[in-house]
Amino acid sequence: MILGILQARVSSSRLPEKVIRPLLGKPMILRQIERLKRIRQLDRLILATSSDLSDDRLAEVCVRDGIECFRGNLDDVLDRFYQAALHYRPDYIVRLTGDCPLADPELIDEVISFTLKGGYDYGCNCLEPTYPDGLDVEMFRFSCLETAWKEATLPSQRQHVTPFIIQQTDRFSIACMKNDIDLSSLRWTVDEPADFDLITKIYESLYSKNPEFVTVDILNLLKKQPYLQTLNSAIHRNEGYAASLLEDAETTSDKELSHEKNN
Q: What is the pLDDT of residue 242?
A: 47
Pick the closest to residue 99 from 16, 37, 25 (CA basis). 16
pTM metric for this prediction: 0.87
Q: pLDDT 10s per residue in the chain (263 long)?
A: 999 999 999 987 778 899 999 999 999 999 999 999 999 999 999 999 999 999 999 999 999 999 999 999 999 999 999 999 999 999 999 999 999 999 999 999 999 999 999 999 999 999 999 999 999 999 999 999 999 999 999 998 999 999 999 999 999 999 999 999 999 999 999 999 999 999 999 999 999 999 999 999 999 999 999 999 889 888 876 555 445 445 555 555 454 445 455 55
**What phi, psi does 160 have (nearest 5°)?**
-130, 160
**What phi, psi does 162 have (nearest 5°)?**
-110, -5
* 156 touches 78 (CB < 8 A): no
| 126 three-state secondary structure | coil
Q: How many Cβ atoms sit within 10 Å of the Cβ of residue 262?
A: 6
Q: What is the pLDDT of residue 260?
A: 53
In angstroms, the first-to-last Cα distance of the chain is 51
Listed in order, strand segments (DSSP E) in 88-165 are 92-97, 122-124, 138-141
Q: What is the pLDDT of residue 12?
A: 72
CA–CA separation, 214 and 145 (whole Å):
30
* 28 touches 103 (CB < 8 A): no
Is the sign of the CA dihedral 101, 104, 110, 113 positive or negative? Answer: positive
